[in-house]
C-alpha cells in the first residue's frame, strides 16, 4: 500500500533561493560548532562502542537525499556488526541485535549525532524530512516523493520528534514491515508535507528547540505548537 494521504494531487512548495542559501549557511555553521563541541562526547562513545562489541564505530547505510541522490548516512553503531545480514532493516525495541551500549545510544538518540558530518558535507540539513532507505521510497506516490526529495533530508523534523520511540510502536507486530508501511509511513509523510510548506529559519529554530527540550527534559513545551503524539489508527 502506498503511503498516500489522499487521492488528490499534491503541490510542491518551493522556498526562495535566499531562504535555502541562508538555511545552508546555518547548517554549515551549526554542524561545525556541533562537531567541535561534541568531540569529547564522540570520543567517549567511540571508546564505549569498541569495548562493548566487535565491529566499526560507525554504522553506514545508504539513504535517499535531495533530488533522489544516494548518500551514506553516519550513525554510531548500536547493533552487532553483521546485523543487516541477520535481520530486517526495521528495528523493534526488543531487537536482540542491539548491543548494551547501543540500547543507551538509541534511547538517548546519541547514535544520530554523527549525522552532523552529513550536514557539513551538504548531504543533509539540521532540519528536514528524515532520509528514507531506497527500498522504502518506492512505496510513496510520485507526488509524495517529489515533495520529500525537494529538500535536503534532516537530522530532525516533526516526524523525528513525534515518532521518537518508533521501535516501540512496532513491538509485537506479526508483520513489522507491513505495519510500518500501512500505519507509520502515511503519518510521517503528512509531517514531511507540513514542513515543506513552512521552510524558514524561524520554523527550523522551533523544531530544533523542541528536539533539544525532548532530549534533555523529555517533554515539548506546548507553546511551540508541536503535537505530542502521532495519530496511529487502531492496530490490526
Give the pLDDT score at 1.
Answer: 42
Give the pLDDT score at 162.
Answer: 84
Instruction: Round to whole Å and give the CA distance between 165 and 90.
Output: 13
- Is 108 domain-assigned? yes
Mean pLDDT (the chain, rounded): 87
pTM of the model: 0.87
- Is 181 domain-assigned? yes
- Is 5 domain-assigned? no
Distances (CA, A) of 39 to 79, 116, 216: 22, 11, 19
Place of cell 557539513: 120
Closest CA to 44 of 61, 55, 57: 57
- Is 4 domain-assigned? no
Instruction: Round to whole Å and give the CA distance between 48 and 56.
Output: 12
- Is 72 domain-assigned? yes
pLDDT at 235 over 50: no
- Is 6 domain-assigned? no
- Is 61 domain-assigned? yes
Instruction: Round to whole Å and give the CA distance between 109 and 39.
Output: 16
Which tens digits make up the pLDDT trace of 36-95? Answer: 999 999 999 999 999 999 999 999 999 999 999 999 999 999 999 887 767 666 776 678
Q: Is 37 helix (H, G, I), strand (E, B) or coil?
A: helix
Write out the residue range of the structural domain in which residue 59 sits: 17-224
Q: Are 45 and 229 in contact (CB under 8 A)?
A: no
Give the pLDDT score at 79.
Answer: 92
Instruction: Round to whole Å and give the CA distance between 72 and 102.
Output: 20
Q: Are 228 and 165 in contact (CB under 8 A)?
A: no
Average pLDDT, stretch 94-110? 91
Confidence of residue 163 (pLDDT cuts 50, 70, 90): confident
Average pLDDT, stretch 23-33? 97
Closest CA to 218 of 180, 176, 165, 167: 165
pLDDT at 190 over 50: yes
Distances (CA, A) of 233 to 29, 101, 132, 139, 166: 40, 33, 22, 19, 15
What percentage of the chain carries pLDDT values higher than 90?
Answer: 63
pLDDT at 150 over 70: yes
Q: Is 76 helix (H, G, I), strand (E, B) or coil?
A: strand
> What is the count of structural domains for the chain?
1
- Is 107 domain-assigned? yes
Amino acid at each position: 500500500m502506498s503511503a498516500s494521504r489522499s487521492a488528490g494531487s499534491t503541490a510542491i512548495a518551493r522556498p526562495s533561493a535566499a531562504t535555502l542559501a541562508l538555511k545552508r549557511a546555518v547548517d554549515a555553521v551549526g554542524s561545525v560548532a556541533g562537531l567541535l563541541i561534541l568531540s569529547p562526547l564522540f570520543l567517549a562513545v567511540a571508546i564505549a562502542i569498541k569495548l562493548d562489541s566487535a565491529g566499526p564505530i560507525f554504522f553506514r547505510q545508504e539513504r535517499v537525499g535531495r533530488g533522489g541522490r544516494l548518500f551514506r548516512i553516519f550513525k554510531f553503531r548500536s547493533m552487532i556488526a553483521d546485523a543487516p545480514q541477520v535481520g530486517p532493516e526495521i528495528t523493534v525495541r526488543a531487537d536482540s541485535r542491539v548491543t548494551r551500549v547501543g540500547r543507551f545510544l538509541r534511547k538517548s538518540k546519541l547514535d544520530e549525532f554523527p549525522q552532523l558530518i552529513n550536514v557539513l558535507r551538504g548531504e543533509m540539513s539540521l532540519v528536514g524530512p528524515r532520509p528514507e532507505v531506497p527500498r522504502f521510497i518506492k512505496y510513496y506516490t510520485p507526488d509524495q516523493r517529489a515533495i520529500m526529495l525537494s529538500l535536503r533530508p534532516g537530522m530532525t523534523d516533526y516526524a523525528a520528534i513525534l515518532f521518537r520511540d518508533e521501535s516501540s510502536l512496532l513491538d509485537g507486530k506479526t508483520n513489522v514491515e507491513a505495519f510500518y508501511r500501512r500505519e507509520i509511513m502515511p503519518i510521517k509523510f503528512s509531517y514531511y508535507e507540513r514542513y515543506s510548506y513552512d521552510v524558514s529559519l524561524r520554523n527550523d529554530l522551533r523544531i530544533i528547540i523542541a528536539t533539544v527540550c525532548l532530549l534533555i527534559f523529555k517533554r515539548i513545551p506546548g507553546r511551540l505548537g508541536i503535537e505530542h503524539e502521532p495519530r496511529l489508527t487502531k492496530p490490526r
